[in-house]
Structure 1
Amino acid sequence: MWLVAPEAFVRIRVLVGMFTVILFAAVCSVLCIKDRKKIEAFRRFVTAPDEQSEIEMRSLCGASEQEYVSVLSEELHDLRDSVMQSGRQLRDYQEYVENWAHEIKTPISLLTFVVDNRRDELPHNVVMKMDNVTSQMQNYVDQMLYYARLKSDSKDYLMESIDVEECVDEVIADYRSLLEEKGIRVRKCLENGEVYSDRRGLQFILGQLVSNSMKYTNEQPEISFDFWTAGDKKLLSVSDNGIGVKSCDMPYIFEKGVTGDSGENRKHATGMGLYLVSEMAHDLGITVTANSKWQNGFEIVLEFPDVETKI
């Protein structure tokens, strides 16, 4: 044809080229669609490896790939069963811990009741030590309960307007015996302090901060509570004049289990107090910042969200 009719051959060559391009594009499109369907089927199969998704996956695979689908199906079923069993065990463990924490409150309350009724009969130093022990036990139980509460899927926070001074006084009352035993002076500057938050959550935060300050006291110990406003911000500061935190430890004080390198005072620390404070504050929308200089006190500042309440 090229010898007889060169012009016709050129036109046919163009048509053949166009047909080849169209055929190649069509084949690529079909393969892409098939691959996309296979990927979607694989995603459904991995997400929910039931019988229907497995049949769909097999129909899109070749004979050599179906064996891999069978092996993957077995592994996914075993993994799903293992995850479900672990979930049940975790729920059972959480229920046990919460029930134990509630049950242990009864003997703690009984111990407190007995000590209160026998204060005049027991030596003063014994009474103070018993108060110290019961307060520590109650603090650890509260940590456990609030840790379980923070990790729970459901939260029962009650957001309301809170008088800061009243809330601080309730926390101080819980730690009064320990504060008196350690000779810690409490200073408050909380005039016109009102925030919008969950009362129990805020009391837990303040309680952990007071407990933390009492552990690392210095000479003439003092804990200060200050409230002020800066524009739309409402700020509450809890500070002490204790040993403080080294600058190398400051970036990590809110991490779980971190106790820092502050000598003998931190040997028995759990590293959970400030971690729970940061987690609870995050749930309540409170911004937490820390300031400290080694051997020159420690301060936590709580910044409350600006909320407009309507009746």
Structure 2
Amino acid sequence: MWHFLKLFFIQHYMWLSSYLVLLIVMNVLMIVDVGMLAVSIWYVNCIMGSIIIVTIVIMCIKDYIKYHHTMEIKETTGYEQQYIRMFHTLLNKQEIVLQEEKLQRKEIEDSLLAWVHEMKSPMTAMHIMIEGNHRLEKEWLRMHLLLDQQLHQTRLYTIEKDSLMKPTAIQPIISQEIKALRAWCLEKDIGFELEGEYPDQVTDAKWFAFIIRQILSNAVKYSHNGSQIYINMQGQLLTIKDEGIGISSIDLPRIFQKSYTGTTGRESKQATGMGLYLANKAAHQLGITLHVTSIVNEGTVFYITFPQENDYHLIKKQSHTST
């Protein structure tokens, strides 16, 4: 009821304001005009007030009836019917345009996915042919990472359908991603140190590997030659620390923004600004939290926190409780 009254006053505020102004003007005239001193102000106010109140009540009742039959055109008359017909016509046109845009976007996504998958075969053949040539392997790796970003960017909108949450061994995934960066690491003489325990975590192996890939590739890219990258895991917390050039305090709050390359990225002209953005988006969908600290010229630390509870845990608890 209060919602209706609020809408009523918003809809008819011009009329209600006009009634109030008219009443005030008439009272002022009766006070100022000497010829109207014999007329009782209270009497006139009562008459006018009663007429206004009755008018407002009638309008309110009519609008209240329409309020409960908004979707029925037969309850309206005249120009209101035309407005409703126009509204429905415009709404239908917008829905048609929206559906067409969705179909076009789906076609573009499908063709892009097909192209990326087609690129995998020549990329695999190229990798076999250039194996052992670290310089060419590095360039191949850069192409591979860009294609991988594009593939996961396209799939990110349907990550719910594309993910499989289950207990996953974390250390083999990290080791595999380190191995994939071998050529780059050999060129820069970068080593890895894995410490701590790596308990299984409930996550999607493919999407978690993508997140690790983005973080490790950034760590290698911005690390100094001959430096180390330290990976440690305790409980739900996984940390990845490098000894690279670091991130400035100005850039740090924005590193997860789309297409933001930062000061370092603009200087190197190799950053796309998409890797960490996509990694953060995917992490959010998996219930993983990413946090970063950094000191310029000393290095950067990524903190990857797995959730204590997620849908998988809740389902398991419910099944145990029911049994």
How far apart are 1:99 and its partner, in Å? 0.7
> What is the RMSD of the two structures over their aligned residues, measured on CA atoms?
2.6
Q: What CA distance in whole angstroms lies between the structure 2 residues aligned with 1:83 and 1:192?
A: 47
Q: 1:298 aligns with which of 275, 297, 300?
A: 300
Equivalence for 1:13: none
One-letter amino acid matched to 1:247: S
Q: 2:224 aligns with which of 218, 223, 226?
A: 218
Q: 1:4-83, aligned counterparts within 5 Å?
A: 27=58, 30-38=61-69, 40-41=70-71, 56-57=72-73, 59-83=74-98
One-letter amino acid matched to 1:65: E
Q: What CA distance in whole angstroms lies between the structure 2 residues aligned with 1:257 and 1:20?
A: 64
After superposition, the C-alpha distances for 1:79-135 in whole angstroms (9 at most, x for unaligned) are: 22211111110010110111111111011011112223xx4xxxxxxx112211221
One-letter amino acid matched to 1:259: T
Q: What CA distance in whole angstroms lies between the structure 1 residues aligned with 2:106 and 2:169?
A: 37
Q: What CA distance in whole angstroms lies between the structure 1 residues aligned with 2:77 and 2:297?
A: 71
Q: What CA distance in whole angstroms lies between the structure 2 residues aligned with 1:129 and 1:27?
A: 85
After superposition, the C-alpha distances for 1:14-57 in whole angstroms (9 at most, x for unaligned) are: xxxxx99997797356324223135x42xxxxxxxxxxxxxx33
Alignment TM-score, normalising by the size of structure 2? 0.74
Alignment TM-score, normalising by the size of structure 1? 0.77
How far apart are 1:164 and its partner, in Å? 2.5
The answer to whether the 8 Å contact 1:189/1:225 transfers is: yes
One-letter amino acid matched to 1:257: S
One-letter amino acid matched to 1:79: Q
Q: 2:138 aligns with which of 117, 132, 135?
A: 132
Q: What CA distance in whole angstroms lies between the structure 1 residues aligned with 2:246 and 2:67?
A: 59
The answer to whether the 8 Å contact 2:265/2:271 transfers is: no
Q: 2:280 aligns with which of 272, 278, 286?
A: 278
Change (3 A) 1:143 1:192: closer
Change (3 A) 1:79 1:137: same
One-letter amino acid matched to 2:297: Q
Tell me the secondary structure at the aligned position of residue 270 of structure 1: coil
Q: Which structure 1 residue ranges, 5 or more long, are not aligned?
A: 1-18, 42-55, 120-126
How far apart are 1:66 and its partner, in Å? 3.1
The answer to whether the 8 Å contact 2:190/2:225 transfers is: no
Q: What CA distance in whole angstroms lies between the structure 2 residues aligned with 1:68 and 1:20?
A: 30
Equivalence for 2:156: 150
The answer to whether the 8 Å contact 2:188/2:226 transfers is: no
Q: What CA distance in whole angstroms lies between the structure 2 residues aligned with 1:73 and 1:297?
A: 59
Q: What CA distance in whole angstroms lies between the structure 1 residues aligned with 2:169 and 2:257?
A: 30
Q: Which structure 2 residue ranges, 5 or more long, are not aligned?
A: 1-49
In terms of fraction of residues, the more helix-rich structure is 2
